[in-house]
């Protein structure tokens, strides 16, 4: 069993702000991320699958197919967007890195082909200082 990780980049903007909190509480929770017109990041997304090496091809996953899946269901929906407004799955919830990682997980699990090795791990890096990781419960085989 090996793990294969593919890295993808996307650029997006967001604002972290809860309408039912005072400005002071928004600042305490989100700091400058609560600024009124949003701001943005170059995000780095890492998707990890886990499975056996196919003894004929020497591959654990066809990375072209994996890339196509991630581009269609994740990158194509969030790259060069204002996450708060443009991404349906983040509507009404704060566009934190934690919620972005959960969104990626839902998108991939819903679209995951039965022929693929298990989706194992998702990682979203917002800046060099801030990283979120999420271990995906593996499918029963």
Residues classed as catalytic: 33, 80, 126
Task: Considering only residues 28 through 57, tell me which ones interact with a copy of itself, judged by CB under 8 A.
Answer: 28-29, 31-33, 35, 37-42, 48, 53, 55-57
Distance in angstroms between the alpha carbons of the first and the last residue of the chain: 14
Among 23, 106, 134, 138, binds a copy of itself (CB under 8 A): 134
Handedness of CA 124, 139, 109, 72 (dihedral sign): positive
Among 91, 106, 109, 127, binds a copy of itself (CB under 8 A): 127
Should residue 4 be labelled a site residue for a copy of itself when binding is judged by CB under 8 A? yes
Closest CA to 61 of 132, 118, 22: 118
Binding site for a copy of itself (CB under 8 A): 1-9, 11-14, 16, 18, 28-29, 31-33, 35, 37-42, 48, 53, 55-60, 62-64, 79-82, 85-86, 93-96, 98-99, 101-102, 127-135
């Amino acid at each position: 069993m090996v793990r294969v990780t593919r890295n993808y980049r996307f650029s997006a903007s967001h604002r972290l702000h809860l309408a039912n909190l005072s400005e002071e509480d928004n600042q305490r929770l989100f700091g400058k991320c609560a600024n009124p017109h949003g701001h943005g990041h170059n995000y780095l997304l890492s998707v990890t699958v886990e499975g056996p090496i196919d003894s004929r091809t020497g591959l654990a996953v066809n990375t072209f197919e994996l890339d196509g899946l991630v581009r269609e269901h994740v990158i194509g929906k969030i790259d060069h967007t204002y996450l708060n407004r443009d991404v349906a799955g983040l509507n009404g919830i704060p566009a934190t890195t934690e919620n972005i990682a959960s969104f990626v997980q839902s998108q991939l699990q819903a679209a995951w082909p039965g022929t693929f090795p298990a989706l194992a791990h998702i990682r979203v890096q917002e800046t060099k200082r801030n990283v979120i990781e999420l271990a995906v419960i593996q499918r029963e085989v």
